[in-house]
Amino acid sequence: MEAIGALIVAIVTVVQLLAHENQILRRQVADLQHQLHRDSHNSSKPPLATAMPSAAPNHGRRRRAQARAQPGHVGTTLTPVADPDVIGPHPVTECEG
């Protein structure tokens, strides 16, 4: 009978400790929720301190994929030769702009 009484006392002690811990955790949750809902209207922070961060501007620069041939395409290119057939000037006929 004493063993049952000791077991009951131990269980009651654990329940009391857990109830106290639960109370502390509930207060912490309430404080964190209160902090979460603060903004410049209901705190001493200036409006810019509570503004959402904006995305970094890209200034119109976009990355372009490098041009590549389709798989299986046999490429050709002009290779320099030691003795070319024709040598001549290539004047600019149009100006970019």
* 52-84 tens-digit pLDDT: 666 666 666 667 777 788 888 887 888 888 998
**What tens digit of pLDDT does each residue of 1-36 get?**
889 999 999 999 999 999 999 999 999 999 998 888
**Inter-residue long-range contacts of 45-51, CB under 8 Å, 24+ positions, other chains counted:** none
49: left (phi over 0), alpha (psi -120 to 50) or beta: alpha
Q: How far apart are CA 37 and CA 43, in angstroms?
A: 10
CB 50 within 8 A of CB 40: yes
If you compute the radius of gyration of the chain from its CA atoms, what whole number of angstroms results?
39
Give the residue carrying structure tokens 């030769």: 81
